[in-house]
A and B are shown apart, each in its own frame.
Chain A
Amino acid sequence: MALGEDYLNYPWRRHGMDHDRYPWSNLFERKPVTWPNGARVALWITPAVQWFPLDMTSKPFAMPGGLTMPFPDLRHYTNRDYGNRVGIYRILDVLAERKLPASVAVNGAIAERYPSLVRDIVAAGHEIVAHGLDMGHAHHSGLAPDAENEIVARTLRLLREASGQEVTGWLSPGRAQSHATPDLLAENGVAYCCDWANDDMPFEMSTRGGPLLAMPLAYETDDRVVMLDFHHTEDSWAEQVKDRFDVLYREAESHGGRIVSIPLHAWVTGVPYRIGKLREVLDHILAHEDVWPATGRDIVAAFRSQA
Chain B
Amino acid sequence: MARDPGLYDYIPYYRRPNIVWPNGAKIAVWIAPNIEFYEFQPPPNPMRTPWGRPLPDVLAYSHRDYGNRSGWWRMMEAMDEAGFRGSVSLNVALCEHHPEIIEACAKRGWEFFSHGIYNTRYTYGMSREEEAAIIEDSVATIRKWTGQKLSGWLAPALSNNTWTMDLLAEHGVEYTCDLFHDDQPMPVNVKSGRLISMPYSLEMNDVIVYNSNLYSARHYGEIIKRQFDQLRAEGERSGTVMCIPLHPYLVGQPHRIEPFAEALRYIASHDDAWLATGREIAAYFNERYYDAMAQAIAAAQA
When the two chains form their complex, are residues A60 and B63 in contact, meaning their CB atoms are under 8 A apart?
Answer: no
> Chain A: residues with CB nearer than 8 A to chain B?
1-4, 6-8, 10, 12-19, 24-28, 60-61, 140-142, 174-179, 195-200, 219-221, 230-232, 236, 239-241, 243-244, 246-248, 251
Residue from A2, A3, A28 whose CB has the most chain B CB atoms within 10 Å: A3
Interface residue from B58, B65, B117 paired with A10 (Cβ < 8 Å): B117
How many angstroms from the CA of A28 to the CA of B248 in the assembled complex? 14
Residue from B134, B214, B216, B258 whose CB has the most chain A CB atoms within 10 Å: B216
Tell me the chain B residues, 175-212 only, with Cβ under 8 Å from chain A.
210
With A3-B126, A7-B43, A18-B39 known to touch, is A60 a contact of B54 (CB < 8 Å)?
yes
How many angstroms from the CA of A27 to the CA of B54 in the assembled complex? 29
What are 6 A-B residue pairs whose CB atoms fall within 8 Å in the complex? A4-B44, A60-B53, A197-B62, A230-B216, A244-B254, A247-B257
By secondary structure, the A interface counts as loop
Count how many pairs of residues, one from A and one from B, have CB atoms less than 8 Å apart in the complex: 146
How many angstroms from the CA of A160 to the CA of B101 in the assembled complex? 44
When the two chains form their complex, are residues A141 and B56 in contact, meaning their CB atoms are under 8 A apart?
Answer: yes
Residues on B with beta carbons closer than 8 Å to the beta carbon of A140: 53-54
When the two chains form their complex, are residues A8 and B130 in contact, meaning their CB atoms are under 8 A apart?
Answer: yes
Residues on B with beta carbons closer than 8 Å to the beta carbon of A7: 43, 45, 121, 125-126, 130
Number of residues on chain B facing chain A (CB within 8 A): 53
Interface residue from A12, A198, A240 paired with B66 (Cβ < 8 Å): A198
When the two chains form their complex, are residues B46 and A2 in contact, meaning their CB atoms are under 8 A apart?
Answer: yes
How many angstroms from the CA of A231 to the CA of B215 in the assembled complex? 9
Q: Mark B50-69, 1 if CB is under 8 A from A, else 0.
A: 00111111110011111011
Residues on A with beta carbons closer than 8 Å to the beta carbon of B218: 239, 243
Is B41's beta carbon under 8 Å from chain A?
yes
- B45, chain A: closest CB distance, angstroms: 7
Residues on B with beta carbons closer than 8 Å to the beta carbon of A231: 214
Of B22-30, B92-100, B225-233, B263-271, the one with at least 4 CB within 8 A of chain A: B92-100
- B115, chain A: closest CB distance, angstroms: 15
| Nearest B residue (CB) for A201 | B70
With A175-B58, A176-B53, A243-B217 known to touch, is A12 a contact of B133 (CB < 8 Å)?
no
When the two chains form their complex, are residues B59 and A174 in contact, meaning their CB atoms are under 8 A apart?
Answer: yes
- A15, chain B: closest CB distance, angstroms: 6
When the two chains form their complex, are residues A141 and B66 in contact, meaning their CB atoms are under 8 A apart?
Answer: no
Residues on B with beta carbons closer than 8 Å to the beta carbon of A18: 37, 39-41, 97
When the two chains form their complex, are residues B216 and A197 in contact, meaning their CB atoms are under 8 A apart?
Answer: no
How many angstroms from the CA of A255 to the CA of B112 in the assembled complex? 29
With A26-B100, A61-B54 known to touch, is A198 a contact of B63 (CB < 8 Å)?
yes
Interface residue from A17, A27, A196 paired with B58 (Cβ < 8 Å): A196
| Nearest A residue (CB) for B216 | A236
When the two chains form their complex, are residues A16 and B97 in contact, meaning their CB atoms are under 8 A apart?
Answer: yes
How many angstroms from the CA of A4 to the CA of B218 in the assembled complex? 44
- Which 7 pairs across A and B sit closest by C-beta, in order of nearness? A244-B255, A198-B65, A196-B62, A198-B62, A1-B46, A247-B254, A61-B53
